[in-house]
Amino acid sequence: MDPIDAARDWISQDPDPQTRDELTALIDAGDHGEIAARFAGRLQFGTAGLRGELGAGPMRMNRVTVARAAAGLARHLLATAEAPSVVVGYDARTNSDVFARDTAEIMQAAGVRAHLLPEHLPTPVLAFAIGHLGASAGVMVTASHNPPRDNGYKVYLADTSQIVPPADAEIAAAIDAVGRVDELPRDDGYSVLGDDVAQAYLDAVAALVPDGPRDLVVAYTPMHGVGGRLLADAAERAGFPAPHTVAEQLQPDPAFPTVAFPNPEEPGAMDLALALATSVDADIVVANDPDADRCAVGVRTPDGHRMLTGDQVGALLAESLLTRGIEGTYACSIVSSDLLGRQAAAHGQPWRQTLTGFKWIGKVEGLVFGYEEALGYCVAPHVARDKDGISASLLIMSLAASLKAQGRTLLDLLGDIYRRHGWHATGQLAVRVDDLAIIAAAMDRLRTDPPTTLAGVAVSSVDDLAAGYQGLPPTDGIRLGLAGGSRIICRPSGTEPKLKCYVEAVVAVENSADDARDAAAATVEAIIADLGSYLRLA
């Protein structure tokens, strides 16, 4: 269909006057380029469900896109589950509540028993609720840490983890088969859940915290998202003193006024939390991303507070579980540090690597601990097979408090781990683009003309992840191995217009740990600088 005709057809079925007016204005202004871009296809399932800018058209997040997704998911569930049911949750972003109610009404009318969470709540509560209620599926309306103009739709099945192939393609096909959304039946007879679900979740996560010291000064931020109240309740239930909270970022606010990008990984995003940590002389800093499935951790150093990487927090959490004798599979994504493999092996436990995306980690059989470098950790797969920023916060607080009682810190423990297994330094080159073609061109160049040396070190192997790597499903990515054991993985983000390159260097600790640390960090830094000039994007 001609994009203008497609736009008129869209307007005729869109229940939202705001997006109808937006598209009408584009037609009136004759903005064919913008209309063509919005009707060039439809949002596809990426690393974590559908995600895109709010606005009119199938390439944007809006009430038509959501209605189609809900109707398609309902069809899929009716075809695959007996007496299917769904739990729907939402964060505090613009329209999240509207999209959640639309989803519940459409799925209920289609014959899928729908349960709506009572208010904006963290993603991990939704994942927990699926198992708690024995539902066939879950939907979380959130764009997590993306910019304020975005929203998204995370889709879970009964195993409490997000959809992977082939279910995502089957659901996508069911969505494609949906006709006009103004003809979809709606039913507001869905159930609105009570506060008991969040209470049951809090009981489950508080029970994860081992007995032990609780004295700890924490500086915390929910980054204008939905984690604040639950984190405070969870900390109280587990017996910790109330964390100090960044006042400006405590209340959910879809405008995210104090941060350019509400992602704890972004430069500057932790400034207010670090300033609070200094003013209260905090032992540790804890941050949740806006839907509270991620957890960032910072520590006090002689030069002030600084944030740890996701790999470092992953190593600390893994070590605490391993030394407590928790047996089972320890898993991380391939873009995360190999250190987890060494830690697991030292305790005689199996280690598995998966593709990027917690949906893959959640599927690992026998999982007892999973993490990814993007600040995601699952410390209790029996609570939910998804990352959980609240339970991870509690466990890191418990670990820090135990160490504090011995006069030690998280950094001391990290030093022990590195001395034992080698200094693992990781870093990331992330390039945000306006034009996705730039990323495609960079990936193409890596495939056809990969660098032969980086930072003076020979590139010893080039693996195309699209051909499948070490038995993993094919994905868009390139792995470069360097002489001496460093490695780089480059891939397009599946949630934002970014190219991400993950670098790891490992240096054995022989004489001085400081030398090993400095050498590993310098190698990562030099590789990132050289890769930046090779890609000519940074």
Ligand X SMILES: O=P([O-])(O)O[C@H]1O[C@H](COP(=O)(O)O)[C@@H](O)[C@H](O)[C@H]1O
- Our CB check for Mg ion shows the closer of 84 and 389 to be 389
Q: Which two tokens stand for residue 356?
A: 């990027």
Given 285, 374, 380, 390, the residue binding ligand X (CB under 6 A): 374
22 binds Mg ion (CB under 5 A): no
- Our CB check for Mg ion shows the closer of 96 and 144 to be 144
- Our CB check for ligand X shows the closer of 3 and 494 to be 494
Q: Which stretch, 124-132, 170-178, 321-329, 355-363, contacts ligand X (CB under 6 A)? A: 355-363
CA distance linking residue 417 with residue 520, whole number of Å = 15
* Cross-strand partners of 144: none
Given 19, 47, 343, 398, the residue binding ligand X (CB under 6 A): 47
Cβ distance 14 to 20 under 8 Å?
Answer: yes
Q: Report the nearest approach of ligand X to the CB of residue 358 (Å).
A: 4
Closest residue to ligand X, judged by C-beta, is: 144
Which are the catalytic amino acids? 144
Three-class DSSP category at 83: coil
> What are the distances in angstroms from CA 252 to CA 82, 173, 227, 273?
37, 35, 9, 16
Closest residue to Mg ion, judged by C-beta, is: 144
- Our CB check for ligand X shows the closer of 315 and 332 to be 332
309 binds ligand X (CB under 6 A): no
Q: Which long-range contacts (C-beta less than 8 Å, at least 24 apart) are formed by 165-173?
A: 165/473, 167/76, 168/45, 170/76, 170/80, 171/45, 171/72, 171/73, 171/76, 172/44, 172/45, 172/72, 173/72
Q: Count residues contacting ligand X (CB under 6 A)?
A: 18
CA distance linking residue 11 with residue 21, whole number of Å = 8
The per-residue b/e assignment along 411-445, b for 16 or more CB within 10 angstroms, e otherwise, is bebbbebbeebbbbbbbbbebeeeeeebbeebbee
Q: Which two tokens stand for residue 172?
A: 């996508």
For residue 330, the partner it binds in ligand X, Mg ion, none, with Cβ less than 5 to 8 A by kind, is: none
CA distance linking residue 315 with residue 387, whole number of Å = 15
- Our CB check for ligand X shows the closer of 329 and 493 to be 493
Q: Count residues contacting Mg ion (CB under 5 A)?
A: 5
Given 293, 319, 338, 388, the residue binding ligand X (CB under 6 A): 293
421 binds ligand X (CB under 6 A): no
373 binds Mg ion (CB under 5 A): no
- Our CB check for Mg ion shows the closer of 150 and 293 to be 293
3-state helix, strand, coil in the chain (%, to 5): 40, 20, 40
CA distance linking residue 102 with residue 106, whole number of Å = 6
Cβ distance 424 to 506 under 8 Å?
Answer: yes
CA distance linking residue 244 with residue 287, whole number of Å = 11
63 binds ligand X (CB under 6 A): no
Given 19, 144, 221, 391, the residue binding ligand X (CB under 6 A): 144
Q: Which stretch, 10-18, 80-88, 225-233, 351-359, contacts ligand X (CB under 6 A)? A: 351-359
Q: Report the nearest approach of ligand X to the CB of residue 360 (Å).
A: 8
Given 19, 96, 144, 309, the residue binding Mg ion (CB under 5 A): 144
The per-residue b/e assignment along 481-506, b for 16 or more CB within 10 angstroms, e otherwise, is ebeebbbbbbbbbbbbeebbbbbbbb
Count of C-beta atoms within a 10 Å radius of residue 168: 17
Q: Which stretch, 67-75, 104-112, 217-225, 352-360, contacts ligand X (CB under 6 A)? A: 352-360
CA distance linking residue 296 with residue 290, whole number of Å = 12
- Our CB check for Mg ion shows the closer of 294 and 500 to be 294
Q: Which stretch, 69-77, 78-86, 286-294, 347-355, contacts Mg ion (CB under 5 A)? A: 286-294
Given 294, 352, 424, 479, the residue binding ligand X (CB under 6 A): 294
For residue 310, the partner it binds in ligand X, Mg ion, none, with Cβ less than 5 to 8 A by kind, is: none
| Site string (294-323) toward Mg ion, x via CB under 5 A | x-----------------------------
Three-class DSSP category at 364: coil
Q: Report the nearest approach of ligand X to the CB of residue 356 (Å).
A: 5
Given 105, 265, 283, 289, the residue binding Mg ion (CB under 5 A): 289
Q: Are strands 113-116 and 50-53 parallel, antiparallel or unpaired?
A: unpaired
Query: Where in 457-496 is the site for ligand X (CB under 6 A)?
Result: 493-496
Nearest Cα to 115, choosing from 185, 168, 194?
Answer: 194
Given 190, 358, 369, 423, the residue binding ligand X (CB under 6 A): 358
Secondary structure string (H, E, C) spanning 228-269: HHHHHHHHHHCCCCCCEECHHHCCCCCCCCCCCCCCCCCCCC
Given 283, 291, 372, 496, the residue binding Mg ion (CB under 5 A): 291
338 binds Mg ion (CB under 5 A): no
- Our CB check for ligand X shows the closer of 209 and 223 to be 223
Radius of gyration of the chain (CA): 23
Query: Where in 249-288 is the site for ligand X (CB under 6 A)?
Result: none
* Cross-strand partners of 492: 499
Residues at the interface with Mg ion (CB under 5 A) = 144, 289, 291, 293-294
Residues at the interface with ligand X (CB under 6 A) = 47-48, 144-145, 289, 293-294, 356-358, 372, 374, 376, 493-496, 500
